[in-house]
Structure 1
């Protein structure tokens, strides 16, 4: 009897959850391969490609290419301007952005935050922006924590990000809040794999909230070069020592 009641409650929960998701939320997925190169302690460039699907992983949403340059004022503060081009079956979009970032390590725990301004438009044509569709300007404020597991290459992170829409009629308007939880694992030759999951809680009740699963592979070219160089030096040293009498 207990098993039947448990099974009934389980199916009831599934039906309720499925109905909730269909009416109020959408499950989406993103796959992001990325690459970066650090010239020195101050300058770093990065690029990534993003492929997105929507409607419970069943329909193509968009693809995007993004490029950014990062400059570190000091070990904690940095600025990162960049550009993103997004395309879909329905339209294309351009985005310019700039972010002021803060990162501070406290042993295995790190605090990170960012204030980001972004300008998005379907075209940079002045007539398009004035007569057809005005650009979307957004201010994003993010704060989070990252935990590096001791004696491990794995880390875990959580963050909260608030999106504020900027407009002439209403200077600052709350748009949505994003809650993220994720993890990263670093490999030997400058590569890193990340898995994260975020929820967008929208203010506008007419827009659908969304859960987004994201996988990201990042290759650091300078770390790769340094690792290969060290391996060659170690091998050369080992060969030299083995030939000595």
Structure 2
């Protein structure tokens, strides 16, 4: 009986402690819609144009983006990439603020049966949620799974954002999602991302809805 009481007491303390901590953390919610247009002008070269809209928790337009990415398949395992985009930050009672963002990446990936793990290292001037001109290294590990005889391909990923200006880990992003093949060269994607900020009492929850067309 005493053991049960101790267990219940521990559970109660954990729950109350978690609740108290959760009350101190701000949770932001965001919805994003994106269109990917993929072109392959050459065998080893891929170019992607991606317009995107971002909405806050009240479904008001928060930011809009237009990004272009050029990828070169250096070998069977490695892909090199460069991105440049324009961000429009919508502000109440002020003019829209604009910023150019860029990134350079190297990705290693290889299939093992129906699993396809990958690792990407990116250097960029953004962390995907602010418009401060800082320098970041982004480490992303991802694994996709090709479901047999099914049009849905799920994946999960974790990404670390290292702030090079401050020399510390800025945030960690956890992602789960799936791509669904509608018909030839047309895909619908849905994902959920959770951003955990290391230095701030902030969590961000992001729902992504995307459409991809391959030409």
Structure 2 residues without counterparts, runs of 5 or longer: 1-17, 92-96
- What's the CA shift string for 1:155-186, capped at 9, x where partnerless? 0000000000111xx4x211000000000011
Higher strand share: 2
Q: CA deviation at 1:76?
A: 1.6
- The Cα offsets for residues 212-241 of structure 1, whole Å up to 9 and x where unpaired, read as 0001101001xxxxxxxxxxxxxxxxxxxx
- Alpha-carbon spacing, 1:21–1:35, altered in 2? closer, same or farther (3 Å): farther
Deviation of 1:112 after TM superposition, in Å, equals 1.1
Structure 1 segments unaligned to the other structure (5+ residues): 1-15, 121-132, 222-245
State the shift of 1:42 in Å.
0.8
Q: Is the 1:87–1:93 contact (alpha carbons within 8 Å) kept by the matching residues of 2?
A: yes
Q: How far is 1:23 from its partner?
A: 5.1
Task: Give the secondary structure class of the aligned counterpart of 2:125.
Answer: strand
Structure showing greater radius of gyration is 1
Structure 1 residue matching 2:148: 3-state secondary structure? coil
Name the one with the larger helix percent. 1
2:192 equivalent among 176, 188, 197: 197
| Alpha-carbon distance in structure 2 between the residues aligned to 1:197 and 1:22 | 23
Deviation at 1:135, TM superposition (A): 2.5
| Distance across 1 between alignment mates of 2:184 and 2:142 | 27
User: Secondary structure in 1 aligned to 2:49?
Assistant: strand
Match of 1:44 among 35, 46, 51: 46
Report the alpha carbon displacement of residue 154 of structure 1 after superposing the two structures with TM.
1.2
Is the 1:29–1:57 contact (alpha carbons within 8 Å) kept by the matching residues of 2?
no
- Structure 1 residues 75-154: aligned runs within 5 Å: 75-90=76-91, 91-120=97-126, 135-154=133-152
CA RMSD of aligned residues (A): 2.3
Residue from 195, 203, 208 that aligns with 1:214 = 208
> TM-score, normalization: structure 1?
0.72
Size of the aligned set, in residue pairs, is 189
Give 1:103 shift.
1.4
Deviations 1:139-162 (A, max 9, x none): 100001101101122100000000
Q: CA deviation at 1:111?
A: 0.4
Please report the TM-score for the alignment, with normalisation by the length of structure 2.
0.81
